Chain A
Amino acid sequence: MSQAATPKNAAGHWIGGYLVLALLLLMLLGALHVVSRPGQIEGVVRVQHVNASLPDRPHVAPVQVALPHILDDQPPAWWGRVDYAIPWPAQLHYADPAQTQLALLLPRVGTRFRVLLNGSEIYHVGWHAPQESNFLTAWFPYLVILPPGLLHPEPQQNALHIQVRGQLLERSGLWPVQIGPHPALFERHQTLHLWQVKGTWIMFITSVLMGLLSLYLWSAVRERLFLLLAVATLAHSVRLGLSVTLEPVLSYGWYFYLHRFSFALFIGFFFLFCDELLGLRERLVRHLCWFLIGFSALWLAWTLFSQNYDYHRLWAGITLALAGFMVAWLLFKAWRRGSLQADHVLVALVAIFIFVTGLRDFLVVKLNFPGDADLRWTTLGSLALLFTLGWVLVQRATASTREVYRLNQSLAGMVAKREAELCQAFEQLHAAQQQRAIEGERRRLMRDMHDGLGSQLVQTLNMVRSQKATQDSRSVESMIYHALEELRLMLDSLEPMEGDLPTILGTFRQRVEPALASAGIELDWQIEEVPALAGLDAQGVMHLFRCMQEIFANVVKHSRARRVTVRTRSDAQGVYLSVIDDGIGMAVGSAPGKGQRGLGNLRARASKLGARLRFFDAQPGTGVEFVFPTPRPDAGSPSKGPPLQASA
């Protein structure tokens, strides 16, 4: 599947969109800076230096240390329990301990700790849990209320201790603590909790949803892009889920490995996804991604084995550097190729943003650069990235739908065009067929006029010319009369009679009756209504007229009949038309010559009508019967059916 190209006319709209997005990201950075600024809260004292001692080694004298005091950076003697004696701030006065509402805020402490005020334990997390259990408090800010009943009447006499049990590789220890009025610290604690804990949960849920959605899309459309994104986001979910777990069920070793390696997977697959999204297929980027994943797997195992935080720090630095390089490389390549589309720019902007947050966290949290290490900016950075990826996902998923819609529209257009062409061709064909039919009809009329009327007129003309002296006006009149009758017969055949056999016969009767009357033959008309016959179109009517002419001519000339009966009837098999005379009868085989030709014509015309022809002995006289078979439902019109044999 190829991504639908963004229309050029939308470019301006998108530039505006980028600006808005960039501004939003900048505002987010500003907000992060404001929230995590090491600002002074009114009435609250920030403790930067404490006296640290080792409870397990009482002979070692306490030393003053600066916060943050990170145990991984200390000699091995400090890797166990550490006691931090917090000097009571001189500016924190009170007259009556019972009236005070003081609290202690621990933005970052761990990985297990307890707080002692004047020798009494007032707070602890995991301190009394078994040694083999796994507690990780560093991700959570803690607000500890200093009970007024335990406060010494003389503020400076208060002994406040924070005891920490560290976990190597977790940057255990103590970060600057704040002591002051409870309401002010409560507010600060809420802020930290929102950004650090709730923010991570939100990201975790979003990430899981994104991963599942990507997985579903991959299973539906089998596009590699979705699978890469699914792996990246699900790996990220694992990291986030582990981050906000206070007491993981895993042993610390597995926790550490999974937590860090899932991050490496996230970074690796995220850049594989970016490479796929941009359609660059950059070998270097792919190799770097797989290198990062493979290298992390080994390096983290080594780090775990060596328990040396410097290796971890190095790993984080290499990961960050590789990520930075890959962002720059992909953007450079895409820019050079000129294939940056709206979604690409969007992802690139957010990737730069998350890189900045990651760099800041690395510098402040890992390398102790100046800044508030209480908050990790990547939390928000990742959230922005996830939403952007979600947007891209929807765009990609709907792109195929839009493409299908566009193709459907295009197809519908093509079908309509073809249909119009087909209609036109059909109309042309129809017109050509009509033209052919008209042409055929014209030829038939010409043939009929030539054979009938023309022949009559030529005969008359010849007779008039050859018998000028002894012109018999009665003969001429008779011939012209017959010519006129011939013409009338032809015109009758063109009348719209719709296959109605009785009307056709009645029309013929009008033409033939005077001749019969003058020959002294009586006509017995026994016509019944019969079903219309499809074969009796204009041409069919003319064939029938000619047949009837031939039969009646035979009756008048040869039969010596006194009476002719014309009869119609119908049954399930067909429609029957018979002409029966009471003459001398026809001896079959004894009428050679013209008579035979006449019978042949009759058979030929009957066949064209789709009718069977039968001669029979009427005793006395002769009968001729036409049988028009009733068309079977599957046999089409009679004229298209099997050839019907005329039998004598």
Chain B
Amino acid sequence: MAHNRNMPSTTQIYLIEDDRTVLQFVQHALALRPDWRLVGHSETFAHARIMAPNSLADVYLVDLGLPDGRGEDMLRLLALTKPEAELLVFTVFGDESRLISALQSGATGYVLKGCNATELVEAIEQICDGGAPISPLLARLLLKQLRSSAPVQAADNSGTVAALSERETDVLKLVAQGYVNKEIASRLGIGTATVSTHIKNLYRKLAVHTRVQVVRAAQERGLL
């Protein structure tokens, strides 16, 4: 385990994954981008709980199926301790139902494990550039989730209202219909980056309630 304290502009990655072949794959992929660094790796939940929050990483790749704990719990911890970091779920399949749960726990995106090295690098780049991967089914689930939770959140005395804006609804609807970001941008007359930003905002909206809860819990316990 090593912690490289490089220049701030360098993207630093922390991997939480028990499969060593995935570690090798990530290392192989990062060879494509010499300015990126794998600054840490944990194979267990216990190790990650101690080490990951103290890392200076910008991007965390988190496997949901850790041998000694739930990936969602790790995401909550990192969302609290590293609020500016990108938290990517590293998953074999889309498994959108579980992804929703991960996003609510604070994840800001996901990467499919079956991708090749180039695709992994592109995914991380997209995340760091403010984008977010999304599938039609995930969009559909998000639409349902945010619509149904909006009244609850509106009544929340925290004052945080995570209702969908009209534009976000349009974006989600189009994603759910299978349109890709470029087509959505064209249809809505906005830039592709804006589409990505909307999606990323949606992820954060989904997690915001969780984040507020986590912060409150931490404050109550005297951690903050």
Contacts and interface: CB of A to CB of B under 8 A. Distances in A.
- Among A487, A503, A509, A527, max chain B CB count under 10 A is at A503
A484 interface: yes
Contacts of A497: 137, 140
Contacts, number: 62
Contacts of B139: 503
A525 interface: yes
A502 interface: yes
Most buried by A among B95, B173, B177: B177
Given A506-B175, A507-B178, A492 B94 contact: yes
Contact of B140 (A487, A488, A503, A510): A503
Interface in B167-224: 173, 175-180, 183
B136 interface: yes
Contacts of A527: 177-179
A533 to B, nearest CB: 15
A130 to B, nearest CB: 105
Contacts of B179: 506, 525, 527
A491 B135 CA distance: 14
Interface string B132-170: 000111011000000000000000000000000000000
Interface in A454-492: 481, 484, 487-488, 491-492
A621 to B, nearest CB: 21
The binding surface of chain A is classed by DSSP as helix
B185 to A, nearest CB: 13
Contacts of A481: 114
A506 B175 CA distance: 8
Given A503-B178, A509-B178, A527-B178, A491 B136 contact: no
Interface residues of A, number: 23
Interface size class of chain B, counting residues whose CB lies under 8 Å from the partner chain: 10 to 19
Contacts of A488: 93-94, 114
Given A492-B137, A497-B140, A506 B177 contact: yes
A230 B97 CA distance: 83
Interface in B58-94: 93-94
A507 B136 contact: yes
B18 interface: no
B183 A525 contact: yes
B43 interface: no
B96 A506 contact: no
Contact of B136 (A484, A510, A529): A510
Contacts of B137: 492, 495, 497, 503, 506-507
B178 A505 contact: yes
Nearest to A566: B178
Contact of A484 (B114, B176, B177): B114
A502 B95 CA distance: 18
A500 B180 CA distance: 18
A509 B97 CA distance: 19
Interface in A103-144: none
Interface string A528-568: 11000000000000000000000000000000000000000
B95 A491 contact: yes
B135, B176, B178 pick with most chain A CB within 10 angstroms? B178
Contacts of A500: 140, 176
A488 B95 CA distance: 9
A495 B96 contact: yes
A501 to B, nearest CB: 9
Contacts of B97: 495-496
A491 B94 contact: yes
Nearest to A495: B137
17 contacts: A491-B94, A495-B96, A495-B137, A496-B97, A500-B140, A502-B177, A503-B140, A503-B176, A506-B135, A506-B179, A507-B178, A509-B178, A510-B135, A510-B136, A525-B178, A525-B183, A528-B177
Interface of B: 93-97, 114, 135-137, 139-140, 173, 175-180, 183
Given A491-B93, A502-B176, A509-B136, 5 more contacts: A503-B178, A506-B137, A506-B177, A509-B178, A510-B135
Interface of A: 481, 484, 487-488, 491-492, 495-497, 500, 502-503, 505-510, 513, 525, 527-529
